[in-house]
Amino acid sequence: AQSVTQLGSHVSVSEGALVLLRCNYSSSVPPYLFWYVQYPNQGLQLLLKYTTGATLVKGINGFEAEFKKSETSFHLTKPSAHMSDAAEYFCAVSESNYGQNFVFGPGTRLSVLP
């Protein structure tokens, strides 16, 4: 069965600093991987996804993630944090093209300090 771990339930960075949110997964087959962002009192919005092909994936708002099969990781990065990036971030893994197979990580809350 697939699973997702996100190291750090809360990460704080200064405005302009590098953002690094960690995600590790386990999967018995080549996975599909996703990052979602949730702003306060909102639903989840897709940031980026990896299905096949290029392992470095670029998403919205300047975020990107790299799929590393050998490390079973899909860490999310952004070179320079904005105050508007403060939100909760969820990593998700799926072993198929069906939503009921999605498994979400517990989430990481990102705070951006002025």
List of residues contacting another protein (CB under 8 A): 32, 34, 36, 41-46, 49, 51, 90, 92, 97-100, 102, 104-107
User: Closest distance between another protein and the C-beta of residue 102, in Å?
Assistant: 6
Nearer CB in complex with another protein: 15/111: 111
Task: For strands 64-68 and 73-78, give the pairing.
Answer: antiparallel
Distance between CA atoms of residues 79 and 104, nearest Å: 25
Torsion angle defined by CA atoms of residues 25, 31, 32 and 37, in that order, rounded to the nearest 10 degrees: 0
Nearer CB in complex with another protein: 45/80: 45
User: Closest distance between another protein and the C-beta of residue 48, in Å?
Assistant: 10
Q: Name the amino acid, one letter, at 108.
A: T
